[in-house]
A and B are shown apart, each in its own frame.
Chain A
Amino acid sequence: MAETTTIVLVVFLIGAGCIIAFMTAVALSSLGKPLPQAEVSRMGYAARKWWARILGVAVIIAFAVSVPWFPYSGAKVLGSEQHFKVVAQQFSFTLPPSVPSKTPIVFDVTATDVNHGFGIYDPAGKLVAQVQAMPDYVNHLRVDFTTPGKYVVRCLEYCGVAHAQMQSSFEVQ
């Protein structure tokens, strides 16, 4: 997962750089010899047909590729996975002290007072999974830990004065 956010950041920075470079080039073109608007429109509208197709295809592909990775499919209440109850309250978590590795487990996450976030950070300090902890509801978060060690839990939904201090931990064995 840590690699995921690094890739996202790199993709974003490259994409942003390309956008800025392209738009700067368009801006700088206005310093050169002008072209009649009719000519620009003719070229621009022709290119836009392709741009529309590219965007359309990109949206469809991105959506189709992302769906199998949605975190909801594994979060079923009924199943053979082991379930562990998590209760969030201002400003602490009630957690199991340890969970097994290399087997799918499900955290049954709820809250007793306000909205909280149940964010799991691996031993390297990277965010690996999260779900909201809500009063009156139970969210089921399916996780398959592969690396044993101490995992830190941080609140990821603003919940009040000690929000930043609301953290706990559990062992993955």
Chain B
Amino acid sequence: MTTTLDPRELSAARRVMWTYLITGFAIFALMILIGFSMRMEQAGWIAYAPQTFYSLMTLHGIGMITAVAVASMGELWYLMRLETVLDERLAYWAWGFIVAGAIAVVISVLAGQFGAAWTFLYPLPFVGTWWPSWATGFYLIGVALVTIGWMMWCTQMLGCVLSRYGGFRGALGWDYVFHRRAFEQSGRTPPPPQAYAALVAAVDGVLTGTIGMIIGVALIVHWISPSVVIDPLWAKNLTYFFGHAFANLTIYMAVAGVYVGMPRYADREYHTSVALAVAWWGTLVFVAIAYFHHLYMDFVQIRALQYIGEAASYLSSIPTALVTVYGSLMLVYRSRMRWSLGSLFMFGGLVGWIVGGFGAVLDATIPINSDLHNTLWVPAHFHTYLLEGVVLFVLGWTFMMLEERSGSISSAAVRWLVGLGFFGGGGLFLLGFYIAGAEGVPRRYAVQPAPGPELSGLASVGVIILLIALVIVLVEAIRLAAIARRRTA
């Protein structure tokens, strides 16, 4: 890893990273408890009024995406700070906008009972509401603030990546791919793998943020003056572009930590290859156009876009399967891998990403989607690659930092307990979704038809096991942090 930072700069960079990580984990902890209560309600273990359920569902959705995004942003920001100059003040401003937006959303949901789901699909925020109009405004402005913070992070990252690696040509590794001999003879090296994650996050991030602001401003204008009409199909396209790409980018930001961390654990080297560069070019495109699969059941959508949606959804899996995960397996295979919580989380995250991706690819097949669209199969696959993917990547990075700074790792017994909790409990939780989805149980139902409640009960048992593991993880993180503090004192 390139590091030319002096101790003061390094300390400042770490403060930014921990600010983002701790914020992300704090929001995650609250949201997982809300999610757990929703599954218990669907199982009939507790009772919510429907208004309460749908308001909490709204908060859980937007909160979880924000949580994993913030944590991933902190991790990638730090990784790139080791490569180039990034302004800490701007990072704190971006963080401030995101936190301010999150607070506005929390107020709109908890005080105002806003409940149009995190997708706020037009015209639902304005029609048949049980919440006051101000709650809609608070929610929309809150999401806009989060988007502004996101755009600030992306634009800063984009500018720094482009200036560090020689514009788009250098940052993409164009000459490295097409004129490799001359490129290498000139003594140049391509950007490191994590820089590709930063480039894609920044470019697609600016794009998705722009789209998000377009639909966000349109909705705010409609909120101010209902006479302003919005086309529902146009709104749906923009909303899903924004939501899909934003959620998708969290994976690609978080996996940057695996590029850096896994070689350290395996005691092997990992460099940019032609395959890696080209794979990220593909990801750059597919992140932006795969969202069409959210509109498969909108038959009025232009037909060609449905074809593009399926093709892009299929193709987006290839860079992952062929380069990132495959490359990581090559790092681990018959290596001197040091297994700790950090490395277990990173490797487990790769498993979750691939398994969830497989479920998503099946769902992205249009004839299959006819049977699975908006059933519980959808939360099944996205919970797989978010909970057992992105969250594990970020936890892996966090524990790698804690382990390195403390010079200590968790005991084998703790690793087994956490592993069983995450994959046993997590697996049970996910299985409830998958089976219910295959049975046609609709998503976003406060009260589910059979066999939804029984499977929600099964999922809730899984969550209890998972929560026990998360408590152990928290205790271990605090223990390692305390050791690290004593060492540096």
Which residues in A have some Cβ–Cβ distance to B below 8 Å?
1, 4-6, 8-9, 11-13, 15-16, 19-20, 23, 26-27, 29-30, 32-35, 37, 40-41, 44, 48, 51-52, 55-56, 59, 62-63, 66-67, 69-72, 75, 90, 113-115, 117, 119, 121, 125-132, 134-141, 154-165
Contacts and interface: CB of A to CB of B under 8 A. Distances in A.
**A interface secondary structure, majority:** mixed
Contacts of A37: 268-269, 335
Interface residues of B, number: 78
A62 B310 CA distance: 10
A4 B371 contact: yes
Interface stretch (B22-30, B135-143, B311-319, B478-486): B311-319
Contacts of B445: 163-164
A159 B124 contact: yes
Contacts of A40: 330, 333-335
A59 B359 CA distance: 15
B15 interface: no
A130 B368 CA distance: 11
Residue among B54, B297, B335 facing the most chain A CB atoms (10 A cut-off): B297
A2 B456 CA distance: 21
B359 A12 contact: yes
A56 B314 CA distance: 10
A37 B357 CA distance: 28
Contacts of A163: 54, 444-446
B117 interface: yes
Contacts of B362: 8, 11-12
Interface of B: 50-51, 54, 115, 117, 119, 121, 123-124, 127-130, 231-233, 236, 266, 268-269, 275, 297-300, 303, 306-307, 310-311, 314-315, 318, 321-322, 326, 329-330, 332-337, 339, 347, 350-351, 354-355, 358-359, 362, 365-368, 370-375, 434-435, 437-440, 442-450
B329 to A, nearest CB: 5
Nearest to A16: B355
B297 to A, nearest CB: 5
A-B pairs, top 6 by smallest CB distance, nearest first, are A127-B440, A30-B337, A69-B367, A9-B438, A35-B334, A164-B445
A69 B236 CA distance: 25
B22 to A, nearest CB: 29
B337 A113 contact: no
B446 A8 contact: no
A8 B368 contact: yes
26 contacts: A9-B438, A15-B358, A19-B355, A55-B321, A59-B314, A63-B314, A66-B366, A66-B367, A67-B307, A69-B366, A70-B366, A72-B306, A119-B374, A126-B439, A130-B374, A134-B236, A137-B233, A139-B297, A139-B299, A156-B375, A160-B127, A160-B129, A161-B115, A163-B54, A163-B446, A164-B442
A155 B375 CA distance: 11
Contacts of B233: 134, 136-137
Contact of A164 (B50, B303, B326, B355): B50
Contact of B371 (A1, A48, A136, A159): A1
B355 A30 contact: no
Contact of B322 (A51, A75, A117, A119): A51
A62 B355 CA distance: 18
Given A141-B299, A158-B54, 14 more contacts: A5-B437, A5-B439, A8-B362, A23-B347, A26-B329, A30-B337, A30-B339, A48-B326, A59-B315, A63-B310, A128-B371, A130-B373, A134-B233, A161-B50
Contacts of B333: 26, 29-30, 35, 40, 44
A90 B127 CA distance: 9
Given A137-B300, A141-B299, A8 B321 contact: no
Nearest to B115: A161
B300 A27 contact: no
Residue among A48, A52, A159, A161 facing the most chain B CB atoms (10 A cut-off): A161
A92 B269 CA distance: 61
A66 B365 contact: yes
A119 B208 CA distance: 31
Given A32-B334, A55-B321, A75 B299 contact: yes
B51 A161 contact: yes
B127 A113 contact: yes
Contact of A140 (B299, B354, B365, B440): B299
Given A6-B438, A16-B355, A27 B117 contact: no
Given A115-B236, A127-B375, A129-B370, A164 B347 contact: no
B337 A71 contact: no
Contact of B298 (A4, A23, A139, A164): A139
A67 B332 CA distance: 39
A5 B438 contact: yes
Nearest to A69: B367
A63 B362 CA distance: 11
Contacts of A67: 307
Given A72-B299, A163-B444, A114 B310 contact: no
A95 B127 CA distance: 22
Given A15-B358, A26-B333, A115 B310 contact: no
